[in-house]
Amino acid sequence: MQGKPDRLFDQWTLRGVTFRNRTVVSPMCQYSADQGIANDYHLVHLGRFALGGFGLVMVEATAISPEGRLTYGDLGLWDDSQIPSLRRVVDFAHGYGARIGLQLGHAGAKAATLPPWVSEEERPADSRWDIYSVTEEPHSAGWQRPSALTAAELEQQLDAWTSAAKRAAEAGFDVLEIHAAHGYLLHRFLSPLSNTRTDKYGGDLEGRMRFPLRVAEAVREVWPDERPLLVRISVIDGEQGGITVEDSIELARRLKEVGVDLIDCSSGGIGAYYNEIRPGYQVQLAAELRRRAEVPTLAVGLITDAQQADDVIRTAAADLVAFGREALINPSWPVTAREELAQFGEGDRFDLLPVQSKSWIGKRRRQLDRVTAAGAGTASREAVNSSASGRT
């Protein structure tokens, strides 16, 4: 006899880390760091999600090296001086019951761009640098042309990945994620649309997977055994002729073999996007990888309402559900969603809230319940009176 299906607000454990529920805040670039160092903005931005009840809060793509930044405002972990400000964020999240993770990345051909609100005319003097990618092809027409990384340079870059991972561990992060999606460096190795190399890091799927797998294996070796390692991938490319679901299933299996614990399933980032964008449009990708690669997955992409998110967990399409822009609009989304789904027990209805808020919200709930009860009583008396006078 099968047990009850898992629910969105059930706890979940991966390696030695237990999450209070299955909700995740996606890593979202904020372009607000100075020399890669986090500041008060990052503390408030990320801290509000911990206060709002999310199970896992992911810090934005954090560069392993200065030249790997998407913009001059990216966070970084290429230097020890960048650890303390991130540890401050970690400590705050832990203080309010959330687990917190960090996404490590290298922007590759997308590096040295600008925040969305800064025009080329406003570009700061120090915002452009030499960039490096899989080949010399720019990310798209009009983008800066990169230099192709040599095999020797790739060997050296492994040190940057592992050094950044060690710093993330020192900062206290519970989870680490490697960014291999959305046109970033590792995605460009995986995609046949961008990887036209003729050495051992190009060619067939085996060659294209070689460097991303080496990165994952090297990071797993230095990342603490009890802490989960995730990889975000584009399960399919944005353009026909690119990465397929079958490719990603094989990649997921291989990542699992080198110690990756969960695949964060996104899509696109290279070429024009052909997949239909609709609510939950990437959930099926997560479900397919989970079923066929037998690896835990995270679903993301236009998941906005409580029932939709709960269905992802109940149907075993994924193990975690991530929210990006929805979390920005409502950083306390888990509190209202849990209420809507009635996934709470006696005495723990508002436990996702910090104690400073819990008493106020509990008081409001009791007031609303009294109003509802009074309204029901009034309606009942009116019905009785109406019936007695023969008007029903």
Distance, CA of 12 to CA of 26 (rounded, Å):
18
**How many other C-beta atoms can be found within 10 angstroms of the C-beta atom of residue 353?**
21
Q: What is 330-366 written as a DSSP string?
A: -TTHHHHHHHHHT---TT-TTTTS-HHHHHHHHHHHH
Token pair 């989970």: residue: 290
**Is the Cβ–Cβ distance between 339 and 331 less than 8 Å?**
no
**Is the Cβ–Cβ distance between 184 and 61 less than 8 Å?**
yes
Phi and psi for 40 in degrees, rounded to 5? -60, -35
Of 184, 273, 274, 281, which is the active-site residue? 184
The SS3 call for residue 264 is strand
| DSSP class of 147 | E
Catalytic site includes residue 201 = no
Give the H or E element holding residue 329: helix 325-329
Catalytic residues: 184
